[in-house]
Amino acid sequence: MAIARYLDRVFPAHPLVPANPVAAAQVEQWASIIVTAIEPALIRAYLFAYLFPGPPDGGVTQDAGLLF
């Protein structure tokens, strides 16, 4: 949301967050859902596991928890 607010200030002709308070609250709500539920599940669980797989034997590395 900080990036969206910054972009709204830099490019006021094309706001990402609506001026209407109800619509702005809905944008905040969806952003919160993405940050707290969707991003950790998709990016951290799946993308990181794909980019940084464990050892060839399928075991778990000691420092794997540092990514999450």
Average pLDDT of every residue of the chain: 81
DSSP string for the chain? -HHHHHHHHH-TTS-SS-SSHHHHHHHHHHHHHIIIIIHIIIIIIIIHHHHS---TTS---TTGGGG-
* Confidence check: pLDDT of 54 > 80: no
Within its chain, how far is the Cα of 6 from the centroid? 17
pTM of the model: 0.57
The pLDDT confidence band at residue 26, using thresholds 50, 70 and 90, is very high
Distance, CA of 17 to CA of 28 (rounded, Å) = 8
Residue spans of the domains in the chain: they are 18-52
Tokens of 14: 């094309």
